[in-house]
Structure 1
Amino acid sequence: MKIVLAPDKFKGALTGNEFCNAATEGIKKAMPLAEIIRLPLADGGDGTIEILKDHLQGELIKVTIHDPLFRPIEASYLWLEAKKTAFIEMAEASGMKLLRKEEQNCCKTTTYGTGEFILKAIEKGAETIILGIGGSATNDCGIGMATALGYRFLDEKNQEVKPIGENLCKIHQIDTTLVHPKLATINIQIACDVTNPLYGKNGAAYIYGPQKGASENDVKLLDKGLQNIANIIQKQFHIDAQNIEGSGAAGGMGAGTTVFLQGKLTSGIELVKELLAFDTQIQNADWIITGEGKLDNQTFSGKTIIGVIESAKKEDIPVAVFCGATDLTISEQEALGVAYVNAITKSPCTLEEAMEHSYKNLAYSVYNFIKVLGYGKNK
């Protein structure tokens, strides 16, 4: 029996590789001769570099850049020499994880460090740059990133503004005369699974601003700023930033990367699957085992499991999902299109206890699933 392991991480409990280790233990105890293909996945956000590095023999390039509050930090991007491709996680430069709770205020934060990442990759000789834009601490529509690449954002007095969220309202025009000359020659793909517009009640500031430390008044200011930059972009570049699908992702980075980098917004999981040749590797599998921390209605919105299910359907391969918890109904599970779902928690416990025991609980649950499939025989 050929079994493909293609999980997302259990956030805070298991990495994709740890999931594969636990599942492999369970499979081998129930079916020692099973063929196991390990393909842990990610959706372009946190953890994607680790997944791609393991599969593609990439090199981590350490550089000095600036964090969301303009402080120098060391961070790494993934370099694939054979493909002249750089994979950058925005969260490594401009992420919430870099700030203490009291520092989180997306009026004051910048994507400048993400732009520095891109600049370093250009100087390395990148022909393709893949940018994952999850986990950001920012709401600056990418003006910080663009500033690092030579764009200048000017106020009514022709003075350059500091590229942070609260200054979007002050921008009067965009100077492109010093933009890096190689930027237009590079294929830039943006891993993005969010479809929010740039501004408005479903836009970047209103939906994500409060999670990034914005008060009610801050949200109004940021939204006004996003409208302002959208109007300037329309006037200067003839691009309707508001109606780019996903323009509101990562505090407006969906729009910023499209306009300032000429980047293409693409599903993060689809990008990762393409890089891993996922659809080819799963051919002739008997089962695909996948999983994530919680299986719920959010699972339907374009994340890793959906990407796995879509590929499995093409090859008519049944999918088993192992998760920490699930609140799906039978009809929702059928709509999801999976053959089997198992919440691995064995007895009533706290969240902390469930996370602590997730490895052994997963191994046990997979063991029992495989034992039923093969009746414990060496298949």
Structure 2
Amino acid sequence: MNILIAPDSFKESLEAIDVCHAIKSGFSEVFPNADYTLLPMADGGEGTSAVLSYVLNGRWKEVTVYDPLMRLITAKYLLLPDATAVIEIAEACGLHLLKLEERNPVITSSFGVGELIKDALHEGARRIIIGLGGSATNDAGVGMLTALGMALYDQQGEPLTQGGGQLACLQRIDNTAFNPNILNTVFEVACDVTNPLCGPLGASAIFGPQKGASPEQVEHLDKSLSHFATVCHQHGNEDYQDIAGAGAAGGLGYTLMTFCGAQLQSGFDTVAEAVGLSQHIANADLVITGEGKLDAQSSMGKVTGGISQRAQLSHTPVIAICGSVDGLKPAQTTQFDVVMPTIQKVDSIDNVLKGAYDNIETTAANIAAAIRLGQNIK
């Protein structure tokens, strides 16, 4: 029996590869001779690079870059053997890099993201997968552009300073020194955010407050992004501001499309394509997936929902092992052949999280025992 184990991480308790090992350990108690394929998964957010490193044998590269407030830090990205680089923007401009009182999207910059891209190009990357998520910035990726050689000037002919608040002053864009390797590189952006660049559902209005923006700053940032898009269009660029995902990561989605020719797609789809998920499913007799909490959002671009959809296409049975099941209607659980929560007893949340590995292992062993029982019943 060929068993594919392809879970997401269990947030706050286990990485995806640890979940794989727990499920395999439990199943092996009943089916020790089965062929197991461990394929940890992610949806383009935090942990995506680690998943691809495990599956595709990449190497990590550490780089000194500027953080959102232009302080030097060490960030890393992943280089794969096929000249692909995987960059999570949060490494360089993540909200987690700032203290609560330091959050201010009017001045925070994506400059460090450009430095990571520049280094990857220097390393010979010809395909760059970028995970958008967790940013502290609202500068439409202008910091990234300047790190890559783009020059942006205000009405007085002075270079713009860093931060989204400066975009309202933009008058002219000069791409003379823009890194020429950009045009010869394929950019794939893993993005689960569908917000446009501006407006009530735009980057500033929806994500600005959590990045520290006041209502007045949100209004100013929204107008600044709109002005930036207008100037970009005046300089002969296509207008991508209303495309779903343009508002991701404070407008980085828009700028990656506009200046890097990036394709925005579901984070899960990006990872699934990179690891050859469909072929793995086609080769399996059984697929086991899982996540910390299975709920109504699981079918909306998340790992478990995406795997179940692909498994159904190949008529492969799929089991979901999860920490808990929350708010699912019966029709929503039919996308899996079995849905099984792992919590073994009533306990504190801290103990449940600490015991995640053992709980998953026990649940997997019980599921395997039920399968064996079914095989033996005449």
For the criterion TM > 0.5, the same-fold answer is: yes
Pair 1:22-2:39 in alignment:
no
Q: Secondary structure at 1:13's aligned position in 2?
A: coil
Regions of 4+ moved over 6 Å: none
Correspondence list, 1:1-379, <5 A: 1-81=1-81, 83-334=82-333, 337-375=335-373
- AA aligned to 1:114 is V
- AA aligned to 1:136 is S
- AA aligned to 2:142 is I
Which moved further from structure 2: 193-202 or 317-326?
Answer: 317-326
Give me the TM-score of the superposition, normalised by structure 1: 0.94
Query: 2:62 & 2:135 partners in 1: Cα distance?
Result: 20
Query: 2:84 & 2:375 partners in 1: Cα distance?
Result: 45
Query: 2:67 & 2:239 partners in 1: Cα distance?
Result: 30
Query: 2:58 & 2:199 partners in 1: Cα distance?
Result: 40
Which moved further from structure 2: 360-369 or 303-312?
Answer: 303-312
Q: Residues 290 and 320 of structure 1 are in contact (CA less than 8 Å); yes or no, is this contact kept in structure 2?
A: yes
Q: Secondary structure at 1:61's aligned position in 2?
A: strand
- AA aligned to 2:363 is S
- AA aligned to 2:349 is L
Give me the TM-score of the superposition, normalised by structure 2: 0.94
C-alpha RMSD of matched pairs (Å)? 1.8
Shift of 1:109: 1.2
Change (3 A) 1:179 1:185: same
Q: Residues 30 and 376 of structure 1 are in contact (CA less than 8 Å); yes or no, is this contact kept in structure 2?
A: no
Identity of aligned residues (%): 40
Query: 2:161 & 2:351 partners in 1: Cα distance?
Result: 45
Query: 2:354 & 2:27 partners in 1: Cα distance?
Result: 21
Q: Secondary structure at 1:30's aligned position in 2?
A: coil
Query: 2:330 & 2:293 partners in 1: Cα distance?
Result: 17
Shift of 1:347: 2.7
Query: 1:315 & 1:308 partners in 2: Cα distance?
Result: 11
Shift of 1:308: 1.1
Name stretches of at least 5 consecutive residues in structure 2 with no aligned partner.
Answer: none
Q: Residues 127 and 187 of structure 2 are in contact (CA less than 8 Å); yes or no, is this contact kept in structure 1?
A: yes
Shift of 1:372: 0.8
Shift of 1:332: 4.5
Q: Secondary structure at 1:270's aligned position in 2?
A: helix
Cα deviation code 1:335-360 (max 9, x no counterpart): 6x122222222233333222111111
Query: 2:317 & 2:199 partners in 1: Cα distance?
Result: 41
Query: 2:79 & 2:319 partners in 1: Cα distance?
Result: 33
Which moved further from structure 2: 47-56 or 164-173?
Answer: 164-173
Q: Residues 234 and 241 of structure 1 are in contact (CA less than 8 Å); yes or no, is this contact kept in structure 2?
A: no
Change (3 A) 1:229 1:350: farther
Which moved further from structure 2: 85-94 or 166-175?
Answer: 166-175
Query: 1:62 & 1:279 partners in 2: Cα distance?
Result: 32
Q: Residues 26 and 367 of structure 1 are in contact (CA less than 8 Å); yes or no, is this contact kept in structure 2?
A: yes
Q: Residues 291 and 323 of structure 2 are in contact (CA less than 8 Å); yes or no, is this contact kept in structure 1?
A: yes
Shift of 1:209: 1.6
Q: Residues 64 and 74 of structure 2 are in contact (CA less than 8 Å); yes or no, is this contact kept in structure 1?
A: yes
